[in-house]
Amino acid sequence: MSGTPLPTPHDYRFAQAFTVRLVGLSLVALALVMFAGTAVVAVSGVNADVLVVLLGVGVAGVFGLGWWLRNRAFVLRAESEGYVVGPVRGAGVKRARWGEVSQAATTTVRGIDCLVLHLEDARATTIPVEALAVDREQFVREMQRRLRAGQGHRPLG
């Protein structure tokens, strides 16, 4: 292990554009639910107040999702001992210790710049760098520090 002190834990949050896109999709979903709900009320004769309640719950859900994405959700939680990947589809291994990482590399997966952490047992974690609310170069430097602190791995390629 190198003499580099262990970096402090840090949550890498979703980029603002990513958050806005997800909230926008939830608004479209709410509109579709309201359309279906309106059709059900019109056909069945159910009290139209149900639509007001449905809209209120839906709007509260959209605001709640936006708040959670902005303040609580993380793409990657880097701790002194290892990492945890948040709600990222296709990330592979969601949790591992830095000592389990055998190789780290930057690559492009389906047109998206990613950091791939290859583990000793042939598994891997893929982190989409574009989803992070941090500069790409800063993120790579931070991961280099964490890997060196974990077991003295060579710099990312």
Are 118 and 101 a contacting pair, CB within 8 Å? yes
Please give the pLDDT value at position 2.
44
Q: Report the candidate in 133, 104, 128, 99 with the shortest Cα–Cα distance to residue 116.
A: 104
Please give the pLDDT value at position 16.
94
Dist CA 9 CA 57 (whole Å) = 36
pLDDT in tens, the chain (157 residues): 444 555 688 999 999 999 999 999 999 999 999 999 999 999 998 999 999 999 999 999 999 999 999 999 999 999 988 999 999 988 999 999 998 998 888 889 889 889 999 999 999 999 999 999 998 888 988 888 888 887 654 555 5
Q: Is the pTM of this model over 0.85?
A: no
Render the burial of 77-95: b for 16+ CB within 10 Å, e for the rest: bbbeebbebbebeebbbee
Are 127 and 140 a contacting pair, CB within 8 Å? no
Residues contacting residue 25 through CB under 8 Å, at least 6 positions apart: none
Please give the pLDDT value at position 7.
65
Please give the pLDDT value at position 29.
98
Please give the pLDDT value at position 133.
93
Q: Report the candidate in 67, 56, 62 with the shortest Cα–Cα distance to residue 25.
A: 62
